């Protein structure tokens, strides 16, 4: 069985699962060589070795091939001091973009650049400038692969998580162990032996971070092997032999000597047949059919002590050996020479690139001779990739082709990013068809992409190694907004050690134009749009995607630990446990309207459409014959939401990338439609919203136009013309009934939509029409409903069902909305939960009336028409109700108790102050525990009373925005003039990405904690990106950046002015303040090559999110979409 304890051994931030199968070994090891070294010999050797060993701090800037983006520690050692060459592991050098520094034992830190990573074996080289090391005397460590033998006493010189030098002792026990198998879908070494050291302390060192790339030295101070992996279950560490390392180093040294100035890319010949061999003992080869005469010949021709032969384990499809070699074939000769060792085989292959070799094998007792052409191994090791919408797409490498048994060079999804993840394309997918065209090479995908416009929806077919025999079809939506930079091609440059970016698409490409395809037509169906034939396109979502991207695409995080923001308790009694994520095995129907007759009159076409629609929906109407009147009335007004949040813009503490829920149409005209929905479905304005209508089978995009700053609802606009004539005629708005308000015991109908867009309803009784919410703050602050009274029912459909509450005539009295909370278990464990309650419709109707009649606020472009949007005046204070019986115990007078009871004999409560929002006008005026008795001498008993008082201020032209409040504080009744704040419904409209940190203005949930730094509060870190400088240096989320290089940054504008003056590669001193008030100072190195500074801002003139580059290197600035 697979052993989960075997792993790369190991970088600090990398944990590798294992599927290693241990074989029974009865082989005879080479002769034991007696150790004669003394303690003094070891002391001298280590004194020479330790100064040449360095701590490598590496940052994989992008996911690529077998490696994910991230930051880690490892070890390397100098093997050529004059030329400046450091040896380490391949998984440290990385196959993709990497930024690294080497730190010597005296804490001198210098930049290093990758010059070579072997396509197969676990070694690679960094280069550095020897003159940069100014204060340390050190010598290179020589490589002596011939010195390795069984019984040799060795020392492993590494580091402990990048901090201290660690020296551990051991004894080589085996020189011919099979290469360890680390991961079924990641990097694995093969076609080589490994050395094994079975010693508990040494094996334990392999499980610690930072030991990858450590030199394994003998008592003479020579490196005899390279530390690579470990297996804690068998107390063993695994070392890579150095024969192929020495060969590669010699090529690098010759290449460097041939260049007089800068490094040049060096070609190290590597040949392959795309075949994996295993070394099997003679006992097993006999069972595979090897003739005894062949065995005798092989034993005679091989070195003494040979115990087996090479046997084919796997053959990559489409490779040189495909259909020529098969698993179980026993290799006898290559080019006439008996070959039983990996080293001899690889030496022959590396010297025969692009030439034909002769192989003699035995297959089941039959001798065969095959002639195979040796392929250049570097030609199937990709050195470029496409980055689009956060996705990394590359040609399938030999490593992964071997793992997945696919042809090399296919279009492989390393990281799905946003656009592909939104469609349900998982990691490791192979794209086979896009927009109706077969795709076999990355260049073909880029060509098709260049023809698509923003907002286009096109089909994509892919296969995965988990289900390789069936294609899966999904619908990809091209980003409508500029969430990401335009598509770029990154290409590796071994002379500089960098990956250079260039535009993937020509400037005249439709993909780069500003025109947005609002109706979502794709490349294939743009020419056939009309209204008479309905075609269904099934969108098949992958079964295995749920666990792949559960942490926000593994590219965005909110804290140092790789956890979501899920650690706060909530005392709401009736909560659900189901996550707000669509299960990946669900399917979604997309509808394409096709024109079947271009010559019919408009009247004839409309009549045909009605006939077709009636036929399609007849069964549904029949099934709904027994439905209540309210259900039949309200069904045409219901809309199913599917909301995606780009990982590059996960602002305001939003806790997921994917939401769904039910909304209700509250306005529908020829030019604008508005849908109301809860803010646990549409959490932030930086999102892509898709609307599916219960009345008509179509899915169209929506745009968030209003997020109420207090109440749990959002308004989303759609274009009625996108529904077509018949769709626009059957879709309608619900009738709202804000008055009279619901009372205890009233009968209501709970109506909503199932996932299949079928209306579902039940009759319920109102048990509490004015239940006050009390939702605790999450560890990562996000929107939580405060100062709200909600409606509770005796029965509902569970915690994931949303919809509306209506009377018997189908008039909407409340939104049955979803609320987000967080439950805490113990001290450190928490989980996101949700519950549903009724939101009175009066709060929505007030804002809706202002939008329709014309508000006094700033204009917003909605469906091509500028409309003034309302502003909301609020008292930025969090309140909670207290029973009058409790208030009397705090000293409230009998007169006030009687006045409050007279005002509201049902609630019998008084509102108390829980806290003021930091930065609000009420801050420093109201205190925690204050009782709000009256405003303008009118008693206050509920949240709505305060809202009405704030609205009354807007009706007075001469008001100063202050409320005359009567407060009861510590036994005294006092009068205060308390200021109110005016907020819009836009939410956060600006975000800046600096060094991989996502910064924004502090949102209300942060301000509700009651704390803002004195130095300035306008630069709040909401997220951070894997593989970025802030990941490398530890500038994580949930803190403010208050100072950069000694300059205060009180707001985003000041922050931009300071950071745009910083240069590439410059170390920056940053002072931060955490949410808990703890200050901190750290330094980080700016990287403008891979992480340019950019901002994303909402433009109300065009109703789009626009991306602007603030600071980048020249090679990057050309690829950003400057505005």
pLDDT tens string 299-333: 999 988 899 999 999 999 999 999 999 999 999 99
At residue 126, φ and ψ (nearest 5 deg) are -105, 155
At residue 750, φ and ψ (nearest 5 deg) are -90, 115
Per-residue pLDDT for 14 more than 90?
no
- More reliable by pLDDT, 1067 or 31: 1067
Cross-strand pairs, 747 = 765
Per-residue pLDDT for 772 more than 70?
yes
**pLDDT tens figures, 778-827:** 989 999 999 999 999 999 898 889 999 999 999 999 999 999 998 877 77
Q: What are 334's two structure tokens?
A: 């290559």
Among 730, 521, 523, 502, which residue's Cα sits nearest to residue 616? 730
**pLDDT tens figures, 358-372:** 999 999 999 999 999
Per-residue pLDDT for 165 more than 50?
yes
Looking at residue 1017, its pLDDT comes to 81
Looking at residue 518, its pLDDT comes to 58
Cross-strand pairs, 661 = 641
800: left (phi over 0), alpha (psi -120 to 50) or beta: alpha
Per-residue pLDDT for 585 more than 50?
no
Mean pLDDT of 243-249: 96
Residues in the chain: 1123
User: What is the Cα–Cα distance from 280 to 310, expressed in whole angstroms?
Assistant: 6
Per-residue pLDDT for 1068 more than 80?
yes
Looking at residue 258, its pLDDT comes to 79
Residue 682 is given by DSSP the state S
Among 1032, 1060, 1031, which residue's Cα sits nearest to residue 1045? 1060
Looking at residue 1018, its pLDDT comes to 81
Looking at residue 520, its pLDDT comes to 55
Per-residue pLDDT for 870 more than 90?
yes
Mean pLDDT of 62-69: 95
pLDDT-derived band at 544 (thresholds 50, 70, 90) equals very low
- More reliable by pLDDT, 1014 or 717: 717
Helix (H, G, I), strand (E, B) or coil at 948: helix
Per-residue pLDDT for 1112 more than 80?
yes
Per-residue pLDDT for 601 more than 70?
no
At residue 74, φ and ψ (nearest 5 deg) are -155, -175
Cross-strand pairs, 251 = none
Residue 979: how many other CB atoms lie within 10 Å: 15
User: What is the Cα–Cα distance from 217 to 152, expressed in whole angstroms?
Assistant: 10
pLDDT-derived band at 1088 (thresholds 50, 70, 90) equals very high
Q: Which residue has the tokens 């697979």?
A: 2
Looking at residue 1022, its pLDDT comes to 95
Per-residue pLDDT for 3 more than 70?
no
**pLDDT tens figures, 929-946:** 999 999 999 999 999 999
- More reliable by pLDDT, 259 or 962: 962
Give Cα 472 distance to the centre of its chain: 22
- More reliable by pLDDT, 1 or 993: 993
Q: Which residue has the tokens 């996932």?
A: 755
Looking at residue 207, its pLDDT comes to 41
User: What is the Cα–Cα distance from 799 to 797, expressed in whole angstroms?
Assistant: 7
**Is residue 1076 packed enough to be buried (19+ CB in 10 Å), middle (13-18) or exposed (0-12)?**
exposed
**pLDDT tens figures, 23-38:** 333 343 444 445 578 8
User: What is the Cα–Cα distance from 837 to 571, expressed in whole angstroms?
Assistant: 15
- More reliable by pLDDT, 614 or 389: 389
Per-residue pLDDT for 2 more than 60?
no
Per-residue pLDDT for 948 more than 90?
yes
Q: Which of 92-106, 149-163, 599-613, 793-807 has the lowest mean pLDDT?
A: 599-613
Neighbouring residues of 345: CB distance < 8 A, sequence distance ≥ 6 = 191, 277, 310, 331, 334, 339
Helix (H, G, I), strand (E, B) or coil at 285: helix
Helix (H, G, I), strand (E, B) or coil at 554: coil
Q: How many CA atoms lie within 13 A of 719 on its CB side?
A: 14
User: What is the Cα–Cα distance from 750 to 740, expressed in whole angstroms?
Assistant: 18
Share of the chain above pLDDT 90, in %: 74
Distances (CA, A) of 42 to 76, 167, 316, 607: 20, 11, 46, 94
Distances (CA, A) of 266 to 65, 83, 88, 115, 270: 22, 14, 18, 8, 12
* Average pLDDT in the chain: 86
pLDDT-derived band at 588 (thresholds 50, 70, 90) equals very low
- More reliable by pLDDT, 685 or 261: 685
Q: Which residue has the tokens 């993909």?
A: 511
User: What is the Cα–Cα distance from 314 to 617, expressed in whole angstroms?
Assistant: 54
Helix (H, G, I), strand (E, B) or coil at 302: coil
Mean pLDDT of 1038-1044: 95
Looking at residue 432, its pLDDT comes to 96
pLDDT-derived band at 261 (thresholds 50, 70, 90) equals confident
Mean pLDDT of 95-109: 95
Per-residue pLDDT for 552 more than 90?
no
Q: Which of 26-35, 466-475, 666-675, 720-729 has the lowest mean pLDDT?
A: 26-35
pLDDT-derived band at 960 (thresholds 50, 70, 90) equals confident
Looking at residue 956, its pLDDT comes to 81
Per-residue pLDDT for 469 more than 50?
yes
Looking at 478-619, which runs of residues are DSSP E strands?
Answer: 488-493, 498-503, 529-540, 556-557, 587-594
Q: Which residue has the tokens 């392959």?
A: 272
For the chain, the distance separating the N- and C-terminal CA atoms, rounded to the nearest angstrom, is 57
Residue 402: how many other CB atoms lie within 10 Å: 21
- Asked if 109 and 103 count as a contact pair (C-beta separation under 8 A), the reply is yes
Residue 604: how many other CB atoms lie within 10 Å: 12
pLDDT-derived band at 517 (thresholds 50, 70, 90) equals low
Per-residue pLDDT for 538 more than 50?
no
Q: Considering the entire predicted model, what is its pTM?
A: 0.87
pLDDT-derived band at 888 (thresholds 50, 70, 90) equals very high
Cross-strand pairs, 897 = none
Alpha-helix residue ranges (DSSP H) falling in 570-716: 602-623, 629-634
**pLDDT tens figures, 389-447:** 999 999 999 999 999 999 999 999 999 999 999 999 999 999 999 999 999 999 999 99
Handedness of CA 384, 388, 389, 393 (dihedral sign): negative
At residue 901, φ and ψ (nearest 5 deg) are -65, -40
- Asked if 149 and 53 count as a contact pair (C-beta separation under 8 A), the reply is no
Helix or strand (DSSP H, E) at 688: strand 688-693
pLDDT-derived band at 271 (thresholds 50, 70, 90) equals very high
User: What is the Cα–Cα distance from 920 to 546, expressed in whole angstroms?
Assistant: 41
- Asked if 932 and 911 count as a contact pair (C-beta separation under 8 A), the reply is yes
User: What is the Cα–Cα distance from 694 to 730, expressed in whole angstroms?
Assistant: 10
**Is residue 687 packed enough to be buried (19+ CB in 10 Å), middle (13-18) or exposed (0-12)?**
buried
Looking at residue 625, its pLDDT comes to 55
Residue 397 is given by DSSP the state P
Residue 288: how many other CB atoms lie within 10 Å: 16
Mean pLDDT of 822-833: 80
Looking at residue 830, its pLDDT comes to 79
């Amino acid at each position: 069985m697979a052993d989960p304890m075997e792993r790369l051994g190991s970088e600090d931030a990398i944990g590798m699962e294992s599927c290693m199968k241990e074989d029974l070994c009865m082989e005879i090891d080479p002769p034991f060589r007696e150790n004669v070294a003394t303690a003094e010999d070891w002391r001298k050797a280590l004194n020479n070795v330790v100064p040449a060993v360095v701590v490598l701090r590496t940052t994989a800037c992008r996911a690529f091939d077998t490696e994910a983006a991230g930051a880690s520690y490892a070890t390397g050692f100098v093997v050529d001091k004059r030329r400046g060459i450091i040896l380490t592991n391949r998984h440290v050098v990385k196959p993709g973009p990497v930024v690294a520094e080497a730190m010597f034992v005296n804490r001198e830190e210098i930049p290093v650049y990758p010059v070579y990573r072997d396509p197969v074996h676990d070694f690679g080289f960094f280069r550095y400038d020897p003159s940069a090391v100014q204060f340390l005397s050190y010598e290179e460590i020589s490589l002596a692969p011939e010195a390795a033998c069984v019984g040799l006493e060795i020392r492993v010189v590494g580091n402990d998580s990048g901090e201290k030098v660690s020296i551990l002792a051991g004894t080589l026990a085996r020189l011919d162990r099979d290469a360890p198998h680390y991961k079924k879908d990641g990097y694995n070494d093969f076609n080589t032996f490994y050395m094994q050291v079975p010693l508990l302390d040494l094996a334990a060192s392999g499980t610690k971070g930072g030991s990858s790339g450590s030199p394994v030295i003998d008592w003479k101070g020579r490196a005899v092997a390279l530390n690579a992996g470990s297996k804690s279950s068998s107390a063993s560490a695994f070392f890579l032999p150095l024969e192929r390392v020495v060969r590669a180093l010699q090529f690098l040294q010759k290449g460097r000597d041939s260049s007089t100035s800068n490094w040049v890319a060096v070609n190290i010949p590597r040949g392959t047949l795309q075949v994996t061999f295993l070394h099997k003992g003679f006992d097993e080869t006999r069972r595979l059919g090897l003739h005894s005469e062949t065995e005798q010949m092989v034993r005679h021709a091989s070195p003494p002590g040979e115990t087996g032969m090479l046997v084919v384990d796997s053959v990559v499809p489409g490779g040189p050996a495909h259909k020529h070699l098969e698993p179980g074939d026993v290799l006898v000769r290559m080019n006439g020479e008996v070959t039983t060792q990996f080293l001899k085989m690889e030496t022959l292959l590396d010297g025969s690139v692009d030439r034909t070799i002769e192989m003699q094998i035995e297959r089941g007792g039959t001798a065969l001779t095959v002639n195979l052409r040796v392929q250049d191994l570097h030609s199937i090791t990709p050195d470029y990739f496409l980055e689009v919408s956060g996705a990394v797409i590359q040609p399938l490498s030999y490593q992964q082709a071997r793992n997945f048994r696919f042809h090399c060079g296919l279009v492989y999804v390393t990281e799905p990013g946003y656009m592909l993840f939104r469609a349900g394309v998982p990691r490791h997918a192979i794209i086979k068809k896009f927009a109706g065209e077969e795709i076999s090479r990355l260049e073909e995908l880029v060509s098709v992409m260049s023809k698509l416009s923003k907002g286009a929806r096109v089909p994509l077919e892919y296969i995965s190694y988990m289900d390789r025999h069936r294609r899966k079809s999904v619908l990809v939506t091209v980003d409508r907004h500029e969430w990401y930079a335009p598509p770029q091609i990154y290409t590796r440059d071994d002379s500089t050690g960098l990956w250079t970016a260039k535009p993937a698409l020509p400037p005249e490409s439709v993909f780069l134009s500003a025109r947005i395809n609002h109706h979502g037509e794709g490349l294939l169906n743009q020419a056939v749009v009309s209204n008479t034939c309905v075609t269904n396109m099934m969108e098949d979502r992958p079964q295995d995607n749920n666990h792949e991207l559960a942490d926000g695409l593994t590219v965005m995080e909110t804290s140092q630990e790789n956890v979501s923001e899920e650690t706060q308790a909530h005392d709401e009694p009736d909560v659900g446990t189901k996550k707000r994520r669509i299960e990946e095995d669900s399917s979604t129907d997309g509808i394409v309207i096709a024109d079947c007759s271009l010559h019919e009159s408009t009247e004839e076409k409309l009549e045909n459409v009605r006939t077709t629609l009636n036929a399609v929906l007849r069964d549904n109407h029949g099934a709904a014959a027994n439905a209540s009147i309210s259900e039949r009335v309200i069904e045409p007004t219901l809309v199913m939401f599917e909301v995606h949040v780009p990982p590059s813009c996960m602002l305001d503490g939003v806790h997921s990338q994917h939401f769904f829920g039910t909304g209700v149409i509250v306005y529908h005209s020829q030019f604008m439609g508005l849908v109301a929905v809860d803010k646990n479905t549409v959490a932030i304005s930086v999102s892509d919203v898709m609307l599916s209508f219960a009345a008509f089978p179509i899915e169209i995009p929506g745009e968030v136009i209003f997020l109420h700053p207090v109440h749990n609802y959002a308004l989303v606009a759609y274009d009625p013309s996108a529904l077509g004539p018949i769709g626009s005629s059957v879709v309608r708005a619900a009738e709202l009934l804000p008055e009279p308000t619901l009372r205890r015991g009233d009968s209501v109908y709970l109506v909503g939509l199932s996932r299949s867009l079928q209306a579902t309803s039940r009759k319920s009784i109102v048990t509490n029409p004015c239940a006050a919410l009390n939702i605790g703050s999450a560890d990562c602050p996000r929107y939580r409903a405060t100062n709200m009274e909600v409606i509770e029912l005796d029965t509902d459909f569970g915690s994931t069902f949303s919809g509306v509450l209506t009377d018997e005539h189908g008039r909407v009295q409340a939104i049955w909305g979803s609320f987000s909370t967080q439950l805490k278990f113990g001290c450190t464990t928490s989980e996101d939960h949700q519950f549903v309650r009724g939101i009175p419709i009066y709060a929505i109707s007030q804002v809706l009336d202002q939008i329709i009649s014309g508000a006094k606020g700033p204009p917003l472009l909605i469906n091509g028409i500028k409309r003034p949007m309302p502003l909301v005046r609020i008292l930025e204070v969090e309140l909670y109700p207290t029973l009058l019986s409790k208030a009397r115990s705090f000293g409230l007078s009998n007169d006030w108790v009687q006045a409050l009871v007279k005002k509201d004999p049902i609630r019998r409560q008084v509102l108390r102050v829980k806290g003021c929002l930091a930065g609000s006008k009420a801050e420093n005026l109201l205190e925690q525990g204050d009782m709000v008795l009256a405003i303008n001498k009118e008693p206050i008993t509920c949240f709505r009373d305060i809202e009405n008082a704030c609205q009354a201020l807007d009706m007075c032209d001469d008001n100063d925005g202050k409320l005359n409040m009567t407060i009861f504080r510590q036994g005294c009744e006092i009068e205060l003039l308390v200021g109110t704040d005016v907020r819009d419904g836009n939410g956060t409209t600006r975000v800046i990405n600096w060094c991989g940190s996502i910064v924004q203005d502090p949102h209300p949930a942060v301000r509700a904690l009651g704390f803002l730094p004195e130095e300035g509060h306008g630069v709040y870190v909401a997220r951070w990106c894997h593989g970025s400088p802030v990941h490398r240096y530890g500038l994580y989320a949930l803190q403010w950046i208050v100072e950069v290089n000694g300059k205060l940054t009180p707001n985003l504008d000041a922050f931009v002015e300071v950071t745009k003056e910083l240069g590439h590669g410059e170390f920056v001193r940053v002072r931060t303040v955490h949410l808990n008030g703890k200050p901190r100072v750290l330094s980080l190195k700016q990287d403008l090559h891979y992480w340019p500074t950019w901002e994303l801002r909402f433009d109300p003139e065009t109703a789009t999110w626009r991306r602007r580059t603030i600071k980048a290197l020249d090679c990057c600035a050309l690829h950003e979409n400057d505005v």
